[in-house]
Amino acid sequence: MNKKGFMKILEAIIAVIIVFGFLLAVFPSKPSDTAVPEDLETTMDTIIKQAQNDPAFRDCILSPRDIGINCINKLITGNSPPFFPWSHGVRLCTLNDDGDAVNCRFGINDGAETDTTGEKGTCDNEKVLCAGCDGNSFNKQSCLENADTCKRNENTCINNFNKNLPTDKDVYTKAVSISVEDVTTPPSESSITDLNRLESKTLTLFFWYKG
């Protein structure tokens, strides 16, 4: 084969590659179907509405008492239809003044609970824990060390929760923020008083197929 013939073949190969690349760009592959299945969408919407409107569910989410997320798991199970084919996880976080999620608690399906508080609850009340961290406090170093421990506990908890989520299945999520006061009803004196002790929360639901 002479040099001229070889160059023509090479040019033809390059032309085919260019055309093929153009076709891939113009006609991208069909995206995978990740829409939430209808039965799951219905159940998730029902649970979200319950969280917004059911006083028992709202108290479970917003109460300052250390109820945890077990009652949320029970309410989710109670609102699921018979033979529900989906497993679920729960993440419940407090919303700070900037709207950021802090002091999160987690649970997977069976009600087993993990949290970011540590053994002695060092992260339960961030404002009390770190009241002197930004000022000239003699306890500043201890405060910063506790805050650092809290952050490590939180990262460990998040990692443990993520490890329990399946990696070989689609995981569907839905979130709702629950305010301290139910804005759908007239305010009462008791609810105004409760503003000093309750905090707004964000509830995130995770669902994946059991099979």
Give tens-digit pLDDT for 91-109.
888 888 887 877 778 877 7
pLDDT of res. 193: 42
Nearest partner of 203 among 33, 54, 2, 14, judged by Cα:
54
> In the chain, where do the E strands start and end?
86-95, 101-108, 112-115, 172-178, 201-209
How many Cα atoms within 13 Å fall on the side-chain side of residue 174? 17
> Which residues touch 170 (CB under 8 Å, ≥6 apart)?
34, 208, 209
For the ranges 63-72, 96-105, 150-159, 182-191, the lowest mean pLDDT is seen at 182-191
**Mean pLDDT across 23-36:** 54
Q: Considering the chain, what percentage of its residues have pLDDT values greater than 70?
A: 58
Residue 76: pLDDT band (50, 70, 90) is confident
> Which residues touch 93 (CB under 8 Å, ≥6 apart)?
101, 102, 103, 104, 105, 201, 202, 204
Number of residues that make up the chain: 211
Q: What is the pTM of this model?
A: 0.60
